[in-house]
Chains A and B, each alone.
Chain A
Amino acid sequence: MVKLNNGYVPETLEEALSIMRDEKVKPYSGGTDLMLEVGEGASYLFLNKIAELKIIKSDSDYIRIGAQCTFTEIEESDVAPRILKDAMSQLAGPAVRNFGTIGGNIGNGSAKADSALILFVTDSLIRLKSASSERTIYIKDFYKQRKQLDLRDGELIVEVLIPKKYLENYYYKKIGARKALAITRVGFAGLLQEENGVITHVATAFGAIEPIIVRHPEIDEMFIGKTISEARGIKDNYLNLYENAINPSAGRVSKEYRKTVCMNLLKDFLNENGI
């Protein structure tokens, strides 16, 4: 481990966690969000040289992505799921994708984070580690409020675990003011799985519209066990429930705009699936 003036460069996760326990430091991943802040206060803990946090692998149940994997590394990976690669390829521009990391994107706590939207729709888990503890929690429990995460003193985000089920048939659209370097105005991701003509899984997630990424599994459930044509029959009811459930806040664009875009994307997702 190297100690610098105002910074530490650990080579292993163990070293990084000891510093998290013993010193007041700010974890630094890619810097692409952090460097927008004025650099006063705590020293930086540079995590970008820790090889064990840069691994993408697959086990029987999950695709596991190390927190320090950059968006470019995810995009270039043969193991990362297509839905995530698709979202990462539309994030910012090449230079930001080369340095920004999935751990940093989640750790920033924003509902506009494009990788977090995918982790929400796939019901992914976040593995958190400190020098003395380790836990794995659902991403929906990790986000408590805007910029407030269930991250305890001394903990680092070390890995995301994406369940391998239901990833194949996906829908993803990011709406921004331009094609590249765009902050998401509305992000939408949907999954729909059909087996033997019957819908077995539906999940939708809306990003950038409320303080936390929005999921309504209780509404999506109404399609489970139905055929596509039965789903078509209850589509209006489904859309009405979403119309009432979604309550976007105003930001760079108005509430009404965001709401309209959300409903259009939801309809387009259903439409693409024949509903």
Chain B
Amino acid sequence: MKYIEFKLNGENVQYEGSAKDRLLDILRETYRLTGVKCGCKEGECGACSVIIDGRLANSCMIAMGSIHGSDVMTIEGFSNTERFKVIDKAYGDVSAVQCGFCIPGMVLATECILAVTPHPTEEEIRRGISGNLCRCTGYNSIVKAIGIAAKEGEGLW
């Protein structure tokens, strides 16, 4: 029997529990990465978003065994990057954050949009965050912030 080996925010880790455990629960409870939020636990809200092997993922829909050998990044790991600083400032500048619950997921969705499309259209931005629900802002300021991040972070993506 082998432990589940994966990379978490850049560090190699081994998980000794069940392969059927839910990534969301393990990130929050075992690794204490509480920037990963639990909203719906059914893949409908995006609050638990993480990036797995470069792709946006709902960590509530991922069993631990499926990430054996994968690279997982949460908002805690992403917040150490230059790209984060640009996104952070852009969200702040246009008041794209109200209660904040959806924001870790929104920020990671932003990273996934810009990583693929450094100069996104408004439609591409809206499509990129379409799996992340925000109940406060009405989305317009978030969309605006992502557009600003793309401009201000020219060359980073």
Contacts and interface: CB of A to CB of B under 8 A. Distances in A.
Contact of B63 (A3, A31, A93): A31
B22 A35 contact: yes
A3 B1 contact: yes
Interface in B86-112: 109, 112
B121 to A, nearest CB: 15
A36 to B, nearest CB: 6
Interface in A40-66: 43-44, 46, 48-49
Name A's interface SS. Answer: mixed
Interface in A60-74: 72
A94 interface: yes
A95 B58 contact: yes
A98 B57 contact: yes
A35 B60 contact: yes
B131 A43 contact: no
A94 B130 contact: yes
A96 interface: yes
Contact-size category for B? 35 or more
B61 A28 contact: no
A95 B63 contact: no
Interface in A75-96: 92-96
B19 A95 contact: no
A39 to B, nearest CB: 4
A213 to B, nearest CB: 23
A6 interface: yes
Contacts of B127: 94, 180
Given A4-B19, A72-B55, A94-B112, A179 B63 contact: no
Contacts of A4: 1-4, 19, 65, 68
B74 interface: no
B68 A46 contact: yes
A93 B49 CA distance: 12
Contacts of A6: 18-20, 65
A46 B56 contact: no
A44 B131 contact: no
Given A3-B1, A34-B63, A43-B20, 8 more contacts: A9-B68, A46-B63, A94-B130, A95-B56, A95-B61, A96-B43, A96-B61, A99-B62
Interface of B: 1-4, 16-22, 42-44, 46, 49, 55-58, 60-66, 68-69, 109, 112, 127-128, 130-133
26 contacts: A2-B2, A3-B1, A3-B2, A5-B1, A5-B17, A6-B18, A7-B19, A7-B20, A31-B61, A31-B66, A32-B58, A32-B61, A34-B63, A43-B20, A44-B19, A44-B66, A46-B66, A46-B68, A92-B131, A93-B132, A94-B109, A95-B57, A96-B61, A96-B131, A98-B57, A99-B62
Interface of A: 2-9, 28, 30-32, 34-36, 39, 43-44, 46, 48-49, 72, 92-96, 98-99, 179-181
